[in-house]
Amino acid sequence: DGGITQSPKYLFRKEGQNVTLSCEQNLNHDAMYWYRQDPGQGLRLIYYSQIVNDFQKGDIAEGYSVSREKKESFPLTVTSAQKNPTAFYLCASSRPGGTAFEEPQHFGDGTRLSIL
Amino acid sequence: GEDVEQSLFLSVREGDSSVINCTYTDSSSTYLYWYKQEPGAGLQLLTYIFSNMDMKQDQRLTVLLNKKDKHLSLRIADTQTGDSAIYFCAIKAAGNKLTFGGGTRVLVKP
């Protein structure tokens, strides 16, 4: 079955440590996204990528980094510069905008990151 | 930028209809979506509507769009306990970026 796989489901970070969240999709989607969700709040866009080897900052990119070396993969690194990383992180993918058929974003099951 | 607002909480009795409301500010919105999130899970797409439509029905779900008032609603008929979740509206304007509302927590009481 096609879908988006995020791993791990739970992740703990020590002070001063970088951690990387994995996101893999087999939907053959060009566009991929990372969102952050805080308790009782909506989703905020961290980074997005419309095509391989290209990505753009979202609304809250500070303290995060991404890469897009393969179409299927869009890992997110939470760096030590992110002072409040505790949140639920969601990855999504979609066909790019401007296509004849507008396909919505599909989401993975999320990674919950906590500080030790 | 786009601003999307939702009420925080809705309580409904099993078997009744639920109506979840969403207001937005950007009149250039193209697609408008409703997602459902169960505890500890990702977002599940429920339905969406293109901005040139007023209504879309999909089994128990009815989406109404009032472009003049920039108001979107999701009606769930015959609400079941399995419908208890957080519901997000999301608006797509220019580009492929979505702006999400803060979510409405729906509690279905037996």
Chain A positions in Cβ-Cβ contact with residue B45 (cut-off 8 Å):
104-107
So what's the pLDDT on residue A100? 46
Q: Which residues contact B73 (CB under 8 A, 6 or more apart)?
A: B19, B20, B21, B22, B63, B64
So what's the pLDDT on residue A95? 82
Q: Which residue of A has its CA nearest to B45?
A: A106
User: Would you give the end-to-end CA distance of chain B in angstroms?
Assistant: 40
So what's the pLDDT on residue B107? 97
So what's the pLDDT on residue B88? 96
- What confidence tens digit (pLDDT) does each residue in B69-110 have? 999 999 999 999 999 999 999 998 766 678 999 999 999 999
Which strands make up the sheet holding B55-58, listed edge to edge? Answer: B4-6, B18-24, B71-76, B61-66, B55-58
**Mutate which: B97, B99, B104, B105, vs A, most A CBs within 10 A:** B97
- What confidence tens digit (pLDDT) does each residue in B3-16 have? 899 999 999 999 99
Chain B positions in Cβ-Cβ contact with residue A44 (cut-off 8 Å):
100
- What confidence tens digit (pLDDT) does each residue in A13-23 have? 888 899 999 99
The letter for the amino acid at B4 is V
**Least confident segment among A57-66, A82-91, A98-107, B55-64:** A98-107
pLDDT confidence bin for A98, thresholds 50/70/90: low
**Mutate which: A107, A109, A112, A113, vs B, most B CBs within 10 A:** A107
B4, B100 Cβ separation under 8 angstroms = yes
- What confidence tens digit (pLDDT) does each residue in A29-55 have? 999 999 999 987 889 999 999 899 999
So what's the pLDDT on residue B96? 67
- What confidence tens digit (pLDDT) does each residue in B43-63 have? 999 999 998 899 999 999 999
A115, A88 Cβ separation under 8 angstroms = no
Give the mean pLDDT of chain A. 90
Residue A47 β-bridge partners: A34, A57
In three-state form (DSSP H/G/I as H, E/B as E, the rest C), the secondary structure along chain A is CCCEEEECCEEEECCCCCEEEEEEECCCCCEEEEEEECCCCCEEEEEEEEECCEEEECCCCCCEEECCCECCECCEEECCCCCCCCEEEEEEEECCCCCCCCCCCEECCCEEEEEC
